[in-house]
Amino acid sequence: MHKELEKFEGLLPLKLLREIEELAPQSKIKKVAERVLEEYTAARVDPGEAVGLVGAESIGEPGTQMTLNTFHYAGVAEMNVTMGLPRIIEILDGRKNPATPMMEIYLKSPYDKGKDIKEIALQVKEVKVGELVSEYSMNISELKIELKLSAEKCREFGLTPSIVVRNAEKLVKEGTMKAEGDTIVLKLKKRDETSMNDLYKLKEKVKGVYVSGVKGIFQVLPVKRKEEFLIITSGTNLKKVLDLEFVDATRTVSNDIHEVAEVLGIEAARQAIIDEVFKVIETQGLNVDIRHIMLVADTMCTSGEIKGITRYGVVSEKASVLARASFETPIKHIINAALTGEVDKLNSVVENVMLNQPVPIGTGLPGLVMKGKVAKAK
């Protein structure tokens, strides 16, 4: 770093310092830095500004114009995504399971050109035995089921009956599997009176047995975006997908915030919240400054885990009993406060409005500090 700039460390953010170093002529670097500091200081939000409330208004007001929208992909499989207000509510509530989990899988260089994209996509899709079978025939006397596999499906997923048997065998403990041509013969191990019922149960069970692909990915849809091909999926499994060798792990995203937090950490989750909320707002054609959303994402993530803007999440962290009680479930909060002898310091807005006291925001924040001689009493 330039010598002159070292003085500004701590005063200006690192990003700005780097930019100055890069762009400003060496001779004038001090002058530029001073001017930047001036502008930077002036642009900062004043102390006592109701940042959260302005953010809430800025997101809430355009939110009233949002339509309840589900977005449909035109094309092969039925794939819709919750968008609009329900999606925003879902994110901000910090819900564990999004209504429509989705991934955008970016591909590494040779794979993103579109060659064999369908095959690549199908490798990601979770395949269950039931999907491959075209016909079941049950042999009650010998207590076995013959599963006739559809050749077409097998070819599509690049599977053969023997591979299916190898992958599924361990998961079917009640029976033994054996590939015979294009059919799989499933024999029940146990042989007693109830085995007939067991055979039926086995048939139902084997349908849902995992064969290949990534678990949790129900549908895949290859799409072309600009020059490259990528795969959009319904259902997520970030951890497994990032492990795949053809996946560009730096850009692949999941819309399940909690999953992102688990796999990539809370910082990534914060970014995911921002991106997801902003995406919705953008598609609705609204104009909300991203910093409002960043603030919301920050408050949701500061504790290290994702907290929704609900009475169980962020609101429950509020210091004031009265503020919590005025949000939702007042009785619960009042009773708990009474039991533990909680003290309300009246440090925030809502409590002070309730007591009709000046709120410690804006002009209500500063106190007058006087330095002077105290007149001596004579």
Which residue number, 51 or 171, has a Cβ lying nearer to another protein? Answer: 51
Q: Which residue has the tokens 């559809």?
A: 150
Choices 36-44, 51-59, 84-92, 155-163; region in contact with another protein by CB under 8 A: 51-59
Residues 220-249 that bind another protein (CB under 8 A): none
Alpha helices, DSSP H, located in 24-146: 29-43, 51-63, 84-92, 117-124, 129-132
How far apart are CB 268 and another protein at their closest, in Å? 31
Q: Which residue has the tokens 């009475």?
A: 311
How far apart are CB 129 and another protein at their closest, in Å? 43
Our finding on whether 289 is near another protein (CB under 8 A) is no
Our finding on whether 57 is near another protein (CB under 8 A) is yes
How far apart are CB 349 and another protein at their closest, in Å? 6
H helix or E strand, kind and range, residue 2: none
Q: Given CA atoms 354, 355, 356, 362 in this order, what sign does their dihedral have?
A: negative
* CA nearest neighbour of 321 among 308, 309, 311, 333: 333
Neighbours of 105 (CB within 10 A): 27
Which residue number, 208 or 364, has a Cβ lying nearer to another protein? Answer: 364
Our finding on whether 54 is near another protein (CB under 8 A) is yes
How far apart are CB 352 and another protein at their closest, in Å? 8
Our finding on whether 53 is near another protein (CB under 8 A) is yes
Q: Which strand ranges, in their side-by-side order, compose the sheet holding 253-254?
A: 219-225, 228-234, 102-106, 253-254
Q: What are the φ/ψ torsions at residue 50 (nearest 5 degrees)?
A: -80, 75
Choices 47-55, 164-172, 179-187, 203-211; region in contact with another protein by CB under 8 A: 47-55
Which residue number, 58 or 195, has a Cβ lying nearer to another protein? Answer: 58
Count the site residues for another protein by CB under 8 A: 25
Residues 302-341 that bind another protein (CB under 8 A): 334-335, 338
Which residue number, 74 or 331, has a Cβ lying nearer to another protein? Answer: 331
Q: Which residues contact 328 (CB under 8 A, 6 or more apart)?
A: 311, 315
Q: Which amino acid is at 350?
A: V
Which residue number, 283 or 326, has a Cβ lying nearer to another protein? Answer: 326
- Identify the bridge partners of residue 146 per DSSP, sorted by sequence position: 137, 185
Angle at 109 between CA 216 and CA 158, to 5 degrees: 45
How many whole angstroms separate alpha carbon 347 and alpha carbon 351? 8
Our finding on whether 45 is near another protein (CB under 8 A) is no
Among the listed residues 56, 85, 249, 319, the single contact to another protein using CB under 8 A: 56
- Identify the bridge partners of residue 179 per DSSP, sorted by sequence position: 184
Q: How many residues does the chain have?
A: 378
With beta carbons less than 8 A apart as the criterion, state whether 107 and 194 touch.
no
Enumerate long-range contacts of 17-26, CB under 8 Å, 24 or more apart.
26/2
Our finding on whether 267 is near another protein (CB under 8 A) is no
Binding mask 337-366 for another protein (x = CB under 8 A): -x----x-----x---xxxxxxxxxxxxx-
How far apart are CB 335 and another protein at their closest, in Å? 8
Among the listed residues 48, 75, 208, 265, the single contact to another protein using CB under 8 A: 48
Which residue number, 23 or 368, has a Cβ lying nearer to another protein? Answer: 368
Positions in the binding site for another protein (CB under 8 A)? 48-50, 53-54, 56-57, 334-335, 338, 343, 349, 353-365
